[in-house]
Amino acid sequence: MQTPSTTPTPSAIEIIALTKRYGSGKPAVDSINLRIAQGSYCCLLGPSGCGKSTTLRMVAGHESVSSGDVLLENRNITDLPAAERGTAMMFQSFALFPHLSALDNVAFSLK
């Protein structure tokens, strides 16, 4: 009989006590923890204004982190600029160039 492995699945993304405050008011994102295993699929669900987009913007580097850490494959990327993180983000209100193909629209920012 084979015993199950006790080695945890490596995390692709780990969010540790991630917090975002705007000014001195209540936090927009309050110390969340999340571990997303490699090869898995994850959705952030919640009502408007609960911090989903702010959290994703902090992971992508488009928003500064007030406190906490973002790890990508066990590498702390919290203070790296967006271009150096190895992440990407598709915005809800996207703007595509109608004269370009889908591939050319995606590649546009790389040029």
101 vs 109 pLDDT, higher one: 101
Whole-model pTM: value is: 0.72
Question: What angle (nearest 5°) sits at the alpha carbon of residue 59, between those of residues 34 and 56?
Answer: 85
**Confidence (pLDDT) at 27:** 92
Contact 78, 69 (CB under 8 A): yes
Mean model confidence pLDDT for the chain: 85
Integer CA distances (angstroms), 53 to 48, 56, 58, 89, 91, in order: 9, 5, 9, 10, 9
Residue 16 has pLDDT above 90, yes or no: yes
Of 85 and 89, more confident: 85
Q: Which CATH architecture has domain 10-79?
A: 3-Layer(aba) Sandwich (3.40)
> Residue 87's pLDDT is what?
81
Residue 24 confidence (pLDDT) above 90: no
Residue 32 has phi, psi (to 5 degrees) of -90, 150
